[in-house]
Amino acid sequence: MIFRRRKHQVPSLNTTSTADISFMLLIFFLVTTNMDIDKGLSRQLPPYNKEESQESFVSKGTTLDLTITATNKLLVNGEPSRIEGLDKKVETFVNSVGKKHLIKVDVDPQASYESYFQLQNQLVSAYNQLRNQTAQRLFGRPYASLSPARKEQVKEACPQRIAEQYHAEAPSMQRTQQKGGQQ
């Protein structure tokens, strides 16, 4: 007797629809997922304390006014200046005035973000340099290598005192509504 082997046919699966659904799900998740990287300034504001909040008067001699105009020009105490050398001016000012200094930043709403961030970078550079100098003077080491307690001492000796002025809406952008009659 001769045995014949039966050939078994494997049923074929139509995977076209499965691939289509997988592709559509992939596209859906790619479109709905937020992949933006947060950009901004890393600044930590001091905690708000109602008991400590009080109105204070600042002498004109202890204030450094930094203004960026609508045309991205920097004014230091009303005088035109370059952003590139601002860190040295801030260092000199803070060293001459001491802990009572105040840096007032006023940026026109029409100014570019680039000029604003250049100004902020110069301020950060100046304060980093000042804190390094203070750490060297007090502890003989750079600021970055100090313990957290000593960093706080340096921050108290060299506080970062910056006040920014915010504009709710630029005057040129305000709309005036006129009613009735001939003007």
Per-residue confidence (pLDDT) for residue 124, from 0 to 100: 93
Q: Would strands 102-107 and 162-165 be described as parallel, antiparallel, or unpaired?
A: parallel
pLDDT digits (tens, 9 = 90+) for 112-135: 989 999 999 999 999 999 999 999
CA-nearest of 159, 34, 40 to 103 is 159
Per-residue confidence (pLDDT) for residue 55, from 0 to 100: 61
Per-residue confidence (pLDDT) for residue 43, from 0 to 100: 65
Residue of 5 and 94 predicted with greater confidence: 94
Three-state secondary structure readout of 20-43: HHHHHHHHHHHHHCCCCCCCCCCC
**76 within 8 A of 117, measured Cβ to Cβ:** no
Average pLDDT on 137-147 reads: 92
Domain ranges of the chain: 60-162
**pTM listed for this prediction:** 0.65
Neighbours of 67 (CB within 10 A): 19
